[in-house]
Amino acid sequence: MSEGRPQARPGRTEGGPRGGDSRGEPASVRWYHRLVTADTEAEEQLGGARRVASGGLRLMAANALQSAGDQVVNAKTVLPWLLTLLGAPAALVGLLVPVRESGSMLPQAALTPWVLRAPRRTRVWMVGATGQGLATLGMAAAATFAEGLLAGVLVVTALAVFALARALCSMASKDVQGRAVPKGQRGQVTGIATAVSGIVAVVLGVALQRLGQDLDVAVLAALLVGAALTWFIGVAVYAGIPESPEGPSSDPRGGRRAGPDAGGQRRGEGSEAGREDRGTGAGSSWVRDTLTLLGTDREFRHFVVARALLLVSALAPPFLVTLAADRGSSWLAGLGAFVIAQGVASVVGGRVFGRLADRSSRLVMVVGAAAASLVVLLVVWVVVAGADVLVLPALVGGYLVISLVHVGVRVARKTYVVDMAEGDLRTRYVATANTAMGVILLVTGAVSAGLATLGEVPALVFLAVLGLVGAAVSWRLPEVSGRG
């Protein structure tokens, strides 16, 4: 009789495999099922619970290490502070965010043929992580041995190398996650890694706040060396992820979209875009392939447009920081306060939004964009109303809430693109979407920066309106997450 209990309902169980006796399970499986919702049926399709647990735990650890390093190599907080201490020109400080963000997105479509030729995407990620670690050491060396214009140029150059290496990790990680973790657990894996990085950010922010005037170049250079180590350790962790290469020959669905389209046909069966995901090679033009994919794949194009309109939570925070810095020198306006806020948002939002994204990544994007826009408009109203006592708390509180919402949007859009396709088509989706976003980010950033010459308020209003439109567009996306 006891043998029938575990098989009575082989699907999901909250918090672990409650349907049967787990005493005989390996420790890795027990720990994994404590962190994510167990799904026996889905795990069996990827080689069983032991294999999925090994891959899932290693993905959490490696991504958490990378995210922890990101808290130091941060183009919005730590690096601008470093360049200011080094005496670099303000123009170089202004290049940090565009180089970091667009630099990791723009090359992805060009890199796609090379990535597709690599049967094991774990190795691609390891190359990218090694590059990020070396580039971070380069920043530390520039901060230690140079100053002024030369130091600024060296740091920005190293950041460009860092961004290019990050492009490889971004492309490979989605495939590795899709091969190692079943749908319904992917958002939770991403969310847990985000939460761990948030804890690191809180600790870092408190340390920076306590240092106060003692925060100098030597301290930041030492932090950069420590950050480089997170990527090198991450390479060792990632190497052990069990990966089953998928593609036209090994993936039973041939790299198709993970779900039926409007006509009930799986993406890749008799469709132009589905044929092309088998034909992308060294001799094909990545520009033509990118434009063809955007032009012929309506649902993917819809996702790219929606993602472009969700930039409110990414671009609004720097304007709030600027407004806070202009309104006083209290601890609320310091670097540490905003790093702490970012960390708290990651800790709180990581696991919560991970689970929600596994249920409906589409709805998380909708609610996130709408919430960020409304918070921005509320902060703008407080600033314009001139309530001096409320302005600084509103700015810091708004930064915290928007950062929290941004965690949800990031987790949701990553989960969405992993869930909407399979095989090499997923790789092309990730690369094409990120390349398009690199261009859109430059354009949107230029528009908001131009409006900022009139003041931060017009730029914030523009971004809020963009976010509300993004919520409406995201609402019309097809549902791809969740099982069934």
- Cβ atoms within 10 Å, residue 123: 15
Whole-Å CA distances, 56 to 32, 42, 59, 224, 371: 7, 13, 5, 28, 31
* pLDDT at site 209: 74
Amino acid at 139: M
- Cβ atoms within 10 Å, residue 12: 16
pLDDT value at 459 more than 70? yes
The secondary structure element, H or E, covering residue 355 is helix 335-385
Considering only 59-73, 267-281, 383-397, 457-471, which range has the smallest mean pLDDT? 267-281
pLDDT value at 253 more than 50? no
Task: Return the structure tokens found at 41.
Answer: 């049926």
- Cβ atoms within 10 Å, residue 143: 26
Considering only 70-79, 334-343, 352-361, 411-420, which range has the smallest mean pLDDT? 334-343
Averaged pLDDT for residues 52-62 = 86
* pLDDT at site 483: 55
How far is it, in rounded angstroms, from Cα 163 to Cα 87? 23
- Per-chain mean pLDDT for the chain: 78
Averaged pLDDT for residues 97-114 = 81
Averaged pLDDT for residues 268-278 = 39
Distant-in-sequence, close-in-space partners of 421: CB < 8 Å, separation ≥ 6: 255, 256, 257, 258, 267, 429
* pLDDT at site 115: 82
- Cβ atoms within 10 Å, residue 259: 18
